[in-house]
Amino acid sequence: MKQYTFFSLIGLLLLAAAIGFGTVLAAPEPAPVSQASALHPNFILLDADGVNVLESGNAVSTMLTCGQCHDTEFIAAHAFHSDLGLSDYDSASVTFDTSNGLFGQWNPLTYRYLSPAGDENLDLSTAEWLMLNGARVVGGGPATTSRGGAALTDLSVSKSNPETAILNENGSISAWDWEASGTMEMNCFLCHLETPNNEARVKEIEAGKFGNANTATLLGLNIVRKTGSDWAWNTEAFNELGEVNSETLRIQDPTNSNCAACHGEIHADETPLTINACDLDYPQTATTGQVVSAQRINDSGLNLSAKNDITRSWDIHAQRQLECTDCHYALNNPAHASEAQGTNPSHLLYDPRSLEISEYLERPDHNFARGESAQFNVAPEYKGTMRRCENCHDYSKGHADWLPYIETHMDAIACETCHIPQMYAPAIQAYDWTVVTTDGSAVETCRGVEGDPNAVTSLVTGYQPVLLNRTNIDGDSLLAPYNLITSFYWVYDDANGSRRPLRLVDLEAVYLDNGSYAADIVSAFDANSDGKLSDAELVIDTPEKEVLVREKIAALGLANPRIEAITQPYSINHNVTQGKNAVNDCKACHDADSRISQPIKLADYAPAMPHFDLDNNVNGSGEFIIAEDGALYYQPKPENDGMYVFGSSRVSWIDWLGALMFVGSLLGVLGHGAMRYLAARKMPHGAAATRRVYMYDAYRRFWHWLQTTTILILLVTGVVIHRPDIFGAFSFRGMVTVHNVMAVILGLNAALALFYHIATDRLKEFIPRPYGFFDDAILQAKFYINGIFKGEPHPFEKRPDSRMNPIQKTTYFMILNVLLPLQGLTGILMWGVQKFPVAANLFGGLPFLAPFHSLIAWAFATFILVHVYMTTTGATPVEAMRAMVTGYEEVDVHEDKDEG
């Protein structure tokens, strides 16, 4: 039980260190200086046999070395970075994806297909997968364990098994001996050393010497040297107990630089930032343009358009000294425990029960808190475990002083949508694997840069992410920013009838002949007839080219070759900026060229129409569009996701119908008016007998004109809100406020007027009398189409107690009982989407309410037009209007009906 003693010793050391730490906290001066964790003791480096490497001279075993104190078995078993989809591996999968991780999920960018056992043609074997992807494989999982769960070294070597074979460049297959190559344990050093030698590690992996990879990580730290194929341990780096000094190794919590080794560009020092653009060795940066750096963008070394004015830092969180692990922490880290527990009783705000630090250090969960990105599907059970924006920030405070309808906005838009308004580094746009270059890569295009993304002379323009609706784990649907990458590639049906991507070796056989393009390919593709093929010429844009390539593939004995394409969303969550640089102009979205409906270019030319990758949480509800120049675009369709954005969304038939109604009425009254004018000229002049009547009392006039004003303002502001693109001079926000205030005034005015009419019994004036209604209405209508031109008197006398004719009564009855309430109701519901969205949703939400509101507004506009015209039919054209101002009207004398 030697190990037990050792364990206790380490435990004591940890305790002593912890007490020391406590003392430091109690007396803040002087502070610990060292960068590396002072907690970590010196330790013995063990080889795979458990012998001190100083004695054996062998490669180090991380699992045994770190396993002296930490439960490395637990760690390896709780680490999706290590598993990479192995535990999800399903060779029977009908799609290209045999798992949800790097090991098995087919990535059209890296293209090579991890062959399941029993495939007709071997493409990527486990060993070659490791060689190609090893730079981003931390070890353990598929680097040590077979798909069946046995150790790779225990597999019987057979070249018919994709786990123990390798495809040679010439297309032949050899066996792979894992005993000889060694396997790659989970490499603790890679993430826990300040300066791991990743370059040396990757070199060993690419050479297929997996057993050397972890030891190579220590090269250059003055601990070990490589002499030939042997390891020479530097005894001076070890103490008399045979322990390596942890200060020499600088064991530490993972820093941003450690994460950067695999994930993308992270820049931590003051030198001007330069990046490797569209380079899959920096996957996050390549696929999205995300760069994690505190540096101001204008201080960086990129040849970025209008750079001097971009004074924000690349990432505000990096600027504010957050580290990757602050959000992506170990799930059982006691410092973050309360966040990790989602199962607290609802009354409990904080649960103090968590692991002791020593327990945590023994068994730190290496399943890290993660988000819900579209591109990473491994360990889906941990999606949404990380600390997101809202876990740290209270949006209601940050936006309170300027953003109206905060809840409505937050319910529809992810924080990133406004706070990552623009990407300032290039990102991959398309990979065309229907062709291949002489160095065996696809024809790649990059967005956000003019020319070669890595040439210093290329102008980087950056790009605006496309906004797509995604569905979160909690069921919320939010607009969030994405890059879209489209890949084109050949597929065929193998002997088993399985659809497979064309192997790279076959693609090269089709296009290349001894490393240069085959003669028939050159003659078909050489557009400028210079005998050479440039990347621009490598495109299958004619049926002839496609037929040629298809036939050449078929000639290799591959059945049914055809081109497929996929468009994949890549989430953008980093490169966040603070409010003043975020989208904070209403019209950015509430306008005709709204951000939410901006199309994004996918490819200059589409050899095939892609399908949207739906194996993620993004709703691919938009459309693929081929522009006139043949370029392929993706057009988001927010309305397909049930979004209605004022100023941007419109239902065009509603507006056409409304306009038709309005213009029709306009033509009608103009025609009618013209005829009246002509008829009046023929008629004998002479004042008809009129008398002066006090028609409208003061309150009547008051509520009428108040209503007139509010309705007119409502119509005007409504139009501006509806079409901010036409009325750009107005502040969108101001118009919304005025509209809402007017609506309230109109509502109050209408209610008071109703009260007045009920209280004074005048309401009956507005109610059409059923008896003889149609006769009267027809009489009135006949007057308008006939009698009015002949100077006949109005069929019904306008009297203070009966001022309206039957048609008027009907019209007002409809307006007051149907249109006004409907308009008020839809308006209130629309306003209420932030306070009581349930109510609006009962009626179909904004996508129904808003167009309906517009339609009624058209009806109101039409009414006002006709109403104003009808007032001219009084004793003189302006008499009725004057009466509504002064109260007194000259009305025709009706002898027979005069009550005297």
Partner 1 sequence: MKKRPSTHSGHRFPAWTLGLLGILLLILVPVLYFLPSAQKTNDPAAYLPVQAIHVDHSDIVKGEFETGQDVTRACLECHEDAAAKVMATTHWTWESKEFDVPWRDEPVTIGKANQINNFCISAQGNQKRCMTCHVGYGWEEYEEYDYTIQENVDCLACHADMSSYVKGEYGNPAEGVDLLAAARSVRAPTRDNCGTCHFDGGGGNGVKHGDLDESLYFPNEALDVHMGGENNMLCTDCHWTEDHQILGRMLSDNYTIDPQEQVSCEQCHVDQKHGDERIDTHLAAVACQTCHIPALALEDPTKTYWDWSQAAQEGREDDHFTYLKIKGEFTYERNFAPTYLWFNGDNEYRYLLGDPINKDGVTYINKPAGSIADQTAKIFPFKLHIAKQPYDTINNYLLAPITAGENGFWTTFDWNSGFQLAEERMGLPYSGQYGFTETYMYWPTTHMVQPAENALQCDSCHGDNSRMDWEALGYPGDPIKWGGRK
Whether 557 and 551 have beta carbons less than 8 Å apart is answered as no
CA angle 40, 45, 49 (to 5 degrees): 140
Helix (H) or strand (E) holding 655: helix 652-682
The residue whose two tokens read 């990552």 is 420
**What is the nearest approach in angstroms of partner 1 to the Cβ of residue 190?**
20
Cis peptide before 30 (omega within 30 of 0): yes
Please identify, using beta-carbon distances, which residue of 734 and 821 lies nearer to partner 1.
734
Cα dist. 746→490, 709, 740 in Å?
A: 64, 9, 10
**What is the nearest approach in angstroms of partner 1 to the Cβ of residue 786?**
32
Strands (E), 670-716: 690-694
Please identify, using beta-carbon distances, which residue of 10 and 880 lies nearer to partner 1.
880
**What is the nearest approach in angstroms of partner 1 to the Cβ of residue 891?**
13
Please identify, using beta-carbon distances, which residue of 381 and 394 lies nearer to partner 1.
394
The residue whose two tokens read 């490589």 is 226
Paired with 516 in beta bridges are: 513
Please identify, using beta-carbon distances, which residue of 693 and 870 lies nearer to partner 1.
693
Please identify, using beta-carbon distances, which residue of 532 and 764 lies nearer to partner 1.
764
Please identify, using beta-carbon distances, which residue of 657 and 893 lies nearer to partner 1.
893
CA-CA distance, 869 to 674, in Å (whole number)?
A: 12
**What is the nearest approach in angstroms of partner 1 to the Cβ of residue 872?**
20
**What is the nearest approach in angstroms of partner 1 to the Cβ of residue 295?**
8
Please identify, using beta-carbon distances, which residue of 132 and 706 lies nearer to partner 1.
706
Listing DSSP states for 410-453 in one string gives HHHB-HHHHHS--B-S-EEEEEETTS--TTS--EEEEESEES-T
CA-CA distance, 96 to 119, in Å (whole number)?
A: 12
**What is the nearest approach in angstroms of partner 1 to the Cβ of residue 290?**
18
**What is the nearest approach in angstroms of partner 1 to the Cβ of residue 528?**
47
Please identify, using beta-carbon distances, which residue of 318 and 369 lies nearer to partner 1.
318
Please identify, using beta-carbon distances, which residue of 159 and 704 lies nearer to partner 1.
704
Closest CA to 20 of 41, 38, 1: 38
Please identify, using beta-carbon distances, which residue of 642 and 887 lies nearer to partner 1.
887
**What is the nearest approach in angstroms of partner 1 to the Cβ of residue 889?**
10
CA angle 134, 138, 139 (to 5 degrees): 85
**What is the nearest approach in angstroms of partner 1 to the Cβ of residue 364?**
21
**What is the nearest approach in angstroms of partner 1 to the Cβ of residue 888?**
5
Q: Is 226 exposed, middle or buried (0-12, 13-18, 19+ CB in 10 A)?
A: middle
**What is the nearest approach in angstroms of partner 1 to the Cβ of residue 755?**
17
- How, if at all, do strands 292-293 and 266-267 pair? parallel
Please identify, using beta-carbon distances, which residue of 74 and 702 lies nearer to partner 1.
702
> Which residue type occupies 292?
V
Cα dist. 83→19, 70, 88, 785 in Å?
A: 36, 19, 9, 85
Please identify, using beta-carbon distances, which residue of 105 and 710 lies nearer to partner 1.
710
CB atoms within 10 A of CB 577: 22
Please identify, using beta-carbon distances, which residue of 478 and 738 lies nearer to partner 1.
738
Whether 859 and 653 have beta carbons less than 8 Å apart is answered as no
**What is the nearest approach in angstroms of partner 1 to the Cβ of residue 864?**
17
**Going by C-beta distance under 8 Å and a sequence separation of 6 or more, which residues neighbour residue 2?**
none
Long-range own/partner contacts, residues 95-101 (CB < 8 A, 24 or more apart): 95/615, 96/499, 96/500, 96/501, 97/615, 99/378, 100/377, 100/378, 100/379, 100/380, 101/377, 101/378, 101/379
**What is the nearest approach in angstroms of partner 1 to the Cβ of residue 718?**
15
Whether 722 and 590 have beta carbons less than 8 Å apart is answered as no
Please identify, using beta-carbon distances, which residue of 54 and 741 lies nearer to partner 1.
741
**What is the nearest approach in angstroms of partner 1 to the Cβ of residue 763?**
18
Whether 248 and 58 have beta carbons less than 8 Å apart is answered as no
**What is the nearest approach in angstroms of partner 1 to the Cβ of residue 521?**
52
Please identify, using beta-carbon distances, which residue of 673 and 800 lies nearer to partner 1.
800
**Going by C-beta distance under 8 Å and a sequence separation of 6 or more, which residues neighbour residue 772?**
none
CA-CA distance, 162 to 174, in Å (whole number)?
A: 10
Cα dist. 877→507, 782, 880 in Å?
A: 84, 20, 7
CA-CA distance, 382 to 377, in Å (whole number)?
A: 10
Please identify, using beta-carbon distances, which residue of 402 and 836 lies nearer to partner 1.
402
Give the 3-state secondary structure of residue 491.
strand
**What is the nearest approach in angstroms of partner 1 to the Cβ of residue 727?**
17
Whether 806 and 768 have beta carbons less than 8 Å apart is answered as yes
What the block records as the tokens of 333 is 């880290």
Backbone angles phi, psi at 327, to 5 degrees: -105, -35
Radius of gyration (Cα) for the chain, nearest Å?
A: 38
Paired with 623 in beta bridges are: 635
Q: What region does 445 belong to: left with phi over 0, alpha with psi -120 to 50, or beta?
A: beta
**What is the nearest approach in angstroms of partner 1 to the Cβ of residue 186?**
27
Please identify, using beta-carbon distances, which residue of 627 and 878 lies nearer to partner 1.
878
**What is the nearest approach in angstroms of partner 1 to the Cβ of residue 33?**
8
Residue numbers at the binding site for partner 1 (CB under 8 A): 28-32, 35, 268-270, 294-296, 298, 311, 313, 318-321, 402, 404, 578-580, 692-694, 698, 701-702, 705-706, 709-710, 713, 733-734, 737-738, 740-742, 744-745, 800-801, 885-888
Please identify, using beta-carbon distances, which residue of 314 and 511 lies nearer to partner 1.
314
